[in-house]
Each structure stands twice: as structure tokens, then as C-alpha cells.
Amino acid sequence: MKEPLASGHPNRNLAGVFPRFHWDALQVALAILVLLQVWRVHELFPSLAISGLPILLTLAVLLLFWLNRDPRRRLTSLNGPVIYAALGILVLVALSVPGSLYPGMSLNFLFKDYLRSVILMFLVAASVRGLADLRRIAWLQVAGATLFSAAVVARAEMGSDGRLRSMAYYDVNDLAMLIVCTLPLVLYLWRRPARGPGRVVLIAATVFLMMTLGKTGSRGGFLGFLTVGGYLLLRLRGISRIQRVGTVVLLVILFVGLANDAYFDRIQTILHPSTDYNWSGKSETGRIEIWKRGVGYMLSHPVLGVGASAFEVAEGTLAPEARQSRQYGRGFKWSAAHNSFIQIGAETGVLGLILFVALLTSAVRVLSRVRRRSVGEGQVLGQILTACLVGFVVPAFFLSQGYSAYLYTLLGMIVGLAKIVSPAIPPRVPMSAVLRPPGPVPTARTLVLPHFGGPARDGR
């Protein structure tokens, strides 16, 4: 029979003991940074639209992290393929600047956008002390998605096709992706023992998010919703089958009941792709034709691409259709890539595409190890974050979200979860302990090994 875990054992948190860590200055500042960088609250509310505020707050969070002396918050504890792949893409983005089709824009994107996303990933992962901190980030993402959706629904106009128009920062397809990624976190928070007000908030947020998802009219979001629902129904463990089925059925009922007829008319076009303008040869600005040109940009610039954030410039300057249009004095639409994989490959080269695929697959493998090594809440959260990642990848195949701040926040949560559930590796035993005077050899029953080093865990 296994003995109970000692109070200082690194895996005591996996036995169901989850100490509650209180908010501190670093977590408060990091929460505000996520609201600014991911959910753009400073753009939603004019009173917060202070020039340079997100950059200043990033520097402030870095300072607080540097001043923090909590041993659970160490960058040295962060390693692995997810970290290396993200850093590799960052290096390629920096190297692509000199040869970019628009060097000034690529340099601006590097320092004001992508570098901050990678820093945010590190800060989220390193700041996590235990599962309580990850629950707070989950609440923050649900609150951010609900707040952004509320602001959009209140201000944006509805088009004749029943879709939201004139949105801030994220377009309707981006918003649909963010909602689909966030829905699994609602299920995770609902599963936790919560007081009545907390569950009322979750119910209200779920209803509102499903209503907003219907208003986006996004077909990519719909495919992502189906994929996430299928994953939760078939792969989620730690939650009874009745609860899983009931949750998915409830989401479907809300989705069908809150979406309008125009939305389902648009969704039905998925069954007839050849009639859509995105089908190959239907339109020069359809997705298939843009993807073909994007692959061409990657093959013609295989080393460092056309430059970070310069895909649209390539559309306006390198595309054969753009050259032909200029000959006749006409303009040509500078389109986004509409595919995160082609976006990364065209802008940073073939190696950038390989690293991006490695980034996503490494995150899946990390979560797989988390599910095998942990029990209870840690195991369930590993599955929930897998569902969030699935909810990103499917819509991102139709969107230019390769550098998304939401994705890097999610990766930070994944790395942070892996950090707190991974078993500690004891350091090498010092020679003084090996060369001690001879004495009675302890038996297997009496041998007690001390716990050495390693990142501190929830139970310490």
C-alpha cells in the first residue's frame, strides 16, 4: 500500500490539495496587461486610450517580475520545445526585417506587437505558482471575451446579411475564434466548487458569448465550435459522461436558439463550397487564390520570407494580378493571408512555418504529458487547455492569427501548468554525503531520502 504524501512532497498538489495563493502586485499588473494586450480594453474605452500605455505596462510587469523573490517564479524553470519554438520564430521575425518588403512596418510589428506577445507568454508561465493562479487567468479570459463581445454588440452595426459590422481591432471572424477558444474555460470554471454568484456570472457569460458567436456569422468559428464540442464530448475525462453530454447539448441549444436565420443560411454554404467566391478560380481575392499566392511568396522567398507583417504588401506588389492591374491603371486589394500557417510561412520563410507547426504540436505533446502525470484538477485543466488549443487551430486555418496574443497567452498557461505538475528532479548528491564514515546500511524499510531543490510546488 502506498504511503500518504508528505507535506513537502512536490506532487502533493496532485493528490487533491490545492492551496489558495492570494493576489499580489505582479498578478494584478499581469491581469491588466492581458486585458490591454489580448482584449484591447484601452481601445474599447476612450478614457483608457493613452498613447504607449500597453508598452509601459509591459515594462512595469517585467520590473515587478524581476523584483519578485518567490522561488516558484523563475525563468530557469521554463524550458522545452514550446519555449524554443517561440524563441525561434521571434529570431526569424527579427532577421526578416532588413529584407522585408516594408522594413519600417516589420520593425514596428516586431517591437510593438510580436515581441510583447512572446514576453506575455513568458510572464504568464513564470508567474504561475499553482492551479489557483491558472484559475484566475481562466476567469480573466472569460471576463475579457465577455467584455469585448458586449462592447462590440453595443456599438457595432448589423449588416444586411445579419453579421456584425464596423468592429474594433478584431473582425467578426477573429471574435468568433476567440469565443470558441474561451468556451472550454467556462466549463472548467463551472466544474470548480464555486459560490452561487460565480455560477450565475458563468451562466450569463455563456449565454451572451453564444449569442455573439451567432451574430458573427463566421463559418470558421462554426467549424471550430463543432470541433471543440466533439472533443469535449468524446475526449474529456474527469467529468462524468452525463455532464459532458449535458454541457454540449446545452451549448448547441443556446447556439441554435440565439442565432438568426441569416446565420444558418450562411453556414449551409459550407456544404456547397464550389458555389462560394472562395472556391478556386471564382475570385482573385478568394481564399484559395490568396493561399496559392501565399505559397508562391514562401517558395520565392524561402529563407526569411517577405518580412514580418508584410503579407498584404506582397499582395499589392508581388502578386501577378496586382502587376497586371497596375498596367491598366487599376488597383488591387491588399489582402491578408486568411491562413495562419501560410501567413507565417510567407512572412518568415519555410523554417518559420516549420517552427510554427512545431510550436503547436509541442504544446499538444506537453498537454498530453500533463494529462498522464497528473490527477484531479490538473488533469482536467490539461484537457480543457487542449480543447482551447483545438478551438484556436481550426478557425486559425482561415484567419491571419499566427502571431495572436491570445495564442501566446494560452501557450503561457500550458507551460505554466506543465511547470507545476512536472515531478521535481533532485540534484546530484554532494560528495560529502557519499564519502561519509561507514556505518550501518539502512534497509529499504528505513531508508529515507530528503527532497532536494527543484521549483517549489503548491504543497510547499
pLDDT value for 457? 40
Query: What is the enclosing helix (H) or strand (E) of 158?
Result: strand 157-158
User: Does 194 map to a domain?
Assistant: yes
Residue 13 placed within a domain: no
CA 352 to chain centre: 18
Place of cell 499582395: 315
Cα 107 from Cα 96, distance rounded (Å): 9
The predicted-structure confidence for 125-135, as pLDDT tens digits, reads as follows 999 999 999 99
What is the β-pairing status of strands 164-165 and 157-158? antiparallel
Neighbour-count burial of 191, counting CB atoms closer than 10 A to its CB (0-12 exposed, 13-18 middle, 19+ buried): middle
> Residue 452 — φ and ψ, nearest 5°?
-105, 145
pTM of the model: 0.85
Within a 10 A sphere around the Cβ of 447, how many other Cβ atoms? 8
Question: In the chain, what is the straight-line distance between the N-terminal and C-terminal CA atoms, in Å?
Answer: 24
- Residue 454: per-residue pLDDT: 41
Domain membership of residue 161 (yes or no) is yes
Position 378 in a domain: yes
* Cβ atoms 144, 434 nearer than 8 A: no
**CA pair distance 166, 160, nearest whole angstrom:** 13
Backbone angles phi, psi at 165, to 5 degrees: -130, 165
- Three cell numbers at 301? 522567398
User: What local confidence, expressed as pLDDT, does residue 458 receive?
Assistant: 43
Query: Furthest-apart CA pair in the chain: how many Å?
Result: 95
Question: Does 127 fall in a domain?
Answer: yes
Return the pLDDT at 432: 46
Determine the pLDDT at residue 208. 93
Give the helix/strand (H/E) hosting 157: strand 157-158
Q: Which of 357, 353, 310 is nearest to 334 (CA)?
A: 310
pLDDT in tens, 50-61: 878 889 999 999
Domain interval for residue 355 = 22-282+334-421
**How many residues are recorded in the chain?**
460
pLDDT of the residue at 79? 82
Instruction: Tell how far CA 165 is from the center of its chain.
Output: 25
Q: Read off the DSSP letter of residue 164.
A: E
Q: Locate cell 487542449: which residue?
A: 386
- Is residue 37 assigned to a domain? yes
Partners of 165 in beta bridges: 157
Asked if residue 448 is part of any domain, the answer here is no
* Residue ranges of the chain with per-residue pLDDT less than 70: 1-20, 166, 192-195, 329, 422-460
**Which pLDDT value is given to residue 237?**
79
Distance CA 424, CA 438 (A): 29
Residue with cell 458567436: 213
Per-residue confidence (pLDDT) for residue 424, from 0 to 100 = 42
CA 49 to chain centre: 25
Q: How many domains does the chain have?
A: 1
| pLDDT score, position 23 | 87
Q: Which positions ≥6 away from 371 have C-beta within 8 Å?
A: 237, 379, 382, 383, 386
Q: How far is CA 260 from CA 88, 204, 218, 263, in A?
A: 44, 19, 13, 5
Residue 92 lies in a domain: yes
Question: Is the Cα torsion angle 358, 395, 148, 142 positive or negative in sign?
Answer: negative
Backbone angles phi, psi at 213, to 5 degrees: -60, -40
Q: What's the rounded Cα separation, in Å, for the pair 50 and 41?
A: 11
